[in-house]
Every structure is written in structure tokens, then in C-alpha cells.
Amino acid sequence: MLKGKFPTDKFKSLATPFYYYNIELLRETLNVIKAEAAKYNYHIHYAVKANANPRILSEIARSGLGADCVSGGEIQAAINAGFRPGAIVFAGVGKADWEIELGLDSDISCFNVESTAELEVICLTAAAKGKTAPVALRINPDIDPHTHAKITTGMKENKFGISQKQLGATLDRLAGMRNVRLTGIHFHLGSQITDLFSFQSLAIRASEIQDEFDRRGIFLENINFGGGLGIDYYHPNHLPVAAFENYFAAVGRLLRPRTGQQIHFEPGRSVVGQCGTLISKVLYVKEGDTKRFAVLDAGFTELIRPAMYDAYHRIENITSEGETGLYDVVGPICESSDVFGRDVELNLVRRGDLLALRSAGAYGEIMASQYNCRRLPASYFSDTI
């Protein structure tokens, strides 16, 4: 089996489970993003929620990307990591008062607003501070991105955004508000989208909506297409950098920015997904009646995606060349959903072997929990290990 290259000897002296990040791959990915975005003069904000490990964040900040945050904690983490507040946008359907205050006090570049109720609170809070809040309206485009239901956000039954039906009324309200300034519109379809046709549909929808703003005499300084580009979980060695060229082209071919208009994207998963790996030790090989289990010291407390989203992660035994067999790879958590994969083909597994759960850089470490009173996982980096 073709495996990823890992410093296995160094791993053997470390307590497991832990996250291992390939910094060279992260930098290569960032270089591709910047080069492809530059062709269209697109502005990129990294979606912090995919991975907020301080080292990863500071690498991304250093590369010059902005940050897309969905909480006050993320705004704080982004600023601590070196992102300029002027390059931070703030989305989220439930912004708390203190989070809005933090955004205003930090002078972030934009609040992506999801309802008229929120707009009013932002306006009042800004007024109390003698400020004007820059806002973009998050519009729910009602487009099916053909991904898992739990990571679909841009359909009308989802809680996110303002519907096109309510847009007119929202704009009427906005016109009377003194302490908010409309700077653009925002969309986000969902996550792990590999069907680029969805992004084309979004570009077409955005053009139509832009025409509506034209009719009202409103110029949109910013159009933000959100994130969602998927990665190849099945072949992490084959194409480790996501299809940014095709992704930007999907929008670029259909939407010509107006003079003075900025186009934004907010990729998360596609930036960090492939550079992270969860390394876990085999505690036991358990022979069941019909199944053979490899019981790991990592569980859904370290990587919840298989349990929560039925997600696939490629699993490799990086300390064995033995003949391959089929194993159900499971964790130690007292829940039947604590399964990383069923009938996984692995090189002969023995107690003490190290297994690599690939493509775990996004929505992995950041979603770790202490359920069962477990410790949060450590993290190591290819250039400092």
C-alpha cells in the first residue's frame, strides 16, 4: 500500500494520540491559493473554524490571507495569530452582544449579517460606541450543494442567511439605519463540495441578485462567495492540494466584477485538510465472532467526523509491512458510534502499531472534546518535531 511519508521513528517516542501537521504541504497549498486567486484578483479569508491551532493560524496569517471568523473566540485567536483586524470578517447566525462589541472595538472589516434582528442589535451597539459598523448581508441562495445534510447551509430550510424573499424588506429597514453601512453581500453554500457546478450556480445567482441591487441604486463593494471547496479524502497522496484553479475559474468565468468591486472567498477545509494527520496507537487487536477489531487509543473525542458526518478518512498502518487484512478500526469511547472505519484494509496490525488517520487537518483537532474525561490531543509539526 502506498503510504504517506511520516517520521515514524520520531513518532515512536511521543505519547499518543496526537495531531501531526505537514508544514511544507500547508505552505505549498497557501502558495497555490495565492497564485490562483491572484489571476482574478480575488481576496481570500481563511475560515478559522476549520483549524485554529496557533501555529497553523500564524502560518496562514504570515502568508497574507485574511480570516473568516464565526465567534468572538475566533476573532481573538485570529488577532493573536497576527491577522490584521482589517482583514477579518465575522459571520454566524447567533452573534452574542459581547462578540459584536469585540468586533466593533477591534475594527474588523465586516459583519456578515444573517437577520434584520441582528442588524438592529449591531446598529444599536455601534451607535452606543459612536461608530458605524460595516455590514454585508448573508443571503441564503437556496442552492443544493450535493454534500452531507449536516454540512449543507445554503438551502432555504437551513437556519443561515436572509432569504431572497425577505431581502427587499431588509434593505428597506437598512436604509433607515444610521450606524451600519452596507458594503456587500455574502453567501456560503456548505462544505466538502466537490461538484463545481454548485459554485457556478452560485455565481449565476449572485449576478441576478447584483442586478436587483443595481435597480435599487446600491453599489456592492464586496461579493463574498464563502467557502466549501472539498478535498479528496480517498487519495490524499495523489492530489494533496485541492482544485483551486478550477474552483476560482468556476466563478471567474461567470461573474465579471464591476469596477471597484472586490470578490472574496472563505476556504477552510481545502486550506488545512490534507496537511493534518491523527496518529494513534493500537491498544488491542480484538477477535470478535464475525469481525476483527483494531482498538485505538484515539476515539471520536480526537476526530469526530466519522461519527458525526459519516465521513471517510483513509487509515494506514505506518509501522507494519505485514500481509494485509480487514479490520474494523474503533476507538475506546463508550459509544457504538466510536468507529473510524469498517472493513478497512491494513497491513497486519499488532498491539503497539501506529495508525495514521489521514486528511484530518480540518474539523479534527478543533472539534476535539474531553468526553469521558479524556485529555485534549497534543500537536507536532513537520519542521520542529
Ligand X SMILES: *Cc1c(COP(=O)(O)O)cnc(C)c1O
- The residue among 110 and 282 lying less far from ligand X, judged by its C-beta, is 110
**360 in Cβ contact with 19 (< 8 Å):** yes
269 sits near ligand X (criterion: CB under 6 A): yes
Continuous segment of H or E residues that includes residue 61: helix 54-62
134 sits near ligand X (criterion: CB under 6 A): no
Among residues 282, 264, 355, 275, the alpha carbon closest in space to that of 314 is found at 355
Number of residues that bind ligand X (CB under 6 A): 18
Among residues 188, 173, 168, 217, the alpha carbon closest in space to that of 68 is found at 188
50 sits near ligand X (criterion: CB under 6 A): yes
Residues of span 189-228 touching ligand X by CB under 6 A: 191, 226-228
49 sits near ligand X (criterion: CB under 6 A): yes
70 sits near ligand X (criterion: CB under 6 A): yes
Strand ranges in the chain using DSSP code E only, listed in sequence order: 18-21, 43-47, 66-69, 88-90, 110-113, 133-140, 162-163, 180-186, 222-224, 262-265, 276-287, 292-296, 315-317, 324-330, 339-347, 354-357, 378-381
Compute the least distance from the CB of residue 323 to ligand X, in Å. 38
- The residue among 19 and 225 lying less far from ligand X, judged by its C-beta, is 225
Strand ranges in 158-202 using DSSP code E only, listed in sequence order: 162-163, 180-186
108 sits near ligand X (criterion: CB under 6 A): no
Kindly report the backbone phi and psi dihedral angles of residue 347, in degrees, each rounded to the nearest multiple of 5, phi listed first: -60, 145
d(CA 162, CA 326): 48
- The residue among 43 and 188 lying less far from ligand X, judged by its C-beta, is 188
Contacts of 327 (CB under 8 A, 6+ apart): 285, 292, 293, 294, 343, 344, 346, 349
Compute the least distance from the CB of residue 361 to ligand X, in Å. 11
Task: Determine which residue in the list 33, 139, 141, 188 makes contact with ligand X, applying CB under 6 A.
Answer: 188
- The residue among 303 and 354 lying less far from ligand X, judged by its C-beta, is 303
Residue with cell 467526523: 305
- The residue among 179 and 274 lying less far from ligand X, judged by its C-beta, is 274
266 sits near ligand X (criterion: CB under 6 A): yes
**317 in Cβ contact with 347 (< 8 Å):** yes
Compute the least distance from the CB of residue 188 to ligand X, in Å. 4
d(CA 40, CA 236): 27
- The residue among 134 and 268 lying less far from ligand X, judged by its C-beta, is 268
**255 in Cβ contact with 205 (< 8 Å):** no
47 sits near ligand X (criterion: CB under 6 A): yes
Compute the least distance from the CB of residue 283 to ligand X, in Å. 32
268 sits near ligand X (criterion: CB under 6 A): yes
Contacts of 384 (CB under 8 A, 6+ apart): none
d(CA 266, CA 44): 6
Compute the least distance from the CB of residue 375 to ligand X, in Å. 26
x/- binding map, residues 83-102, to ligand X, per CB under 6 A?
A: --------x-----------
- Region from 47-55, 101-109, 241-249, 375-383 binding ligand X, contact rule CB under 6 A: 47-55
Q: How far is CA 180 from CA 124, 127, 143, 148, 323, in A?
A: 9, 9, 28, 35, 65
- The residue among 272 and 346 lying less far from ligand X, judged by its C-beta, is 272
- The residue among 162 and 318 lying less far from ligand X, judged by its C-beta, is 162
- The residue among 155 and 339 lying less far from ligand X, judged by its C-beta, is 155
Binding site for ligand X (CB under 6 A): 47, 49-50, 68, 70, 91, 188, 191, 226-229, 266-270, 362
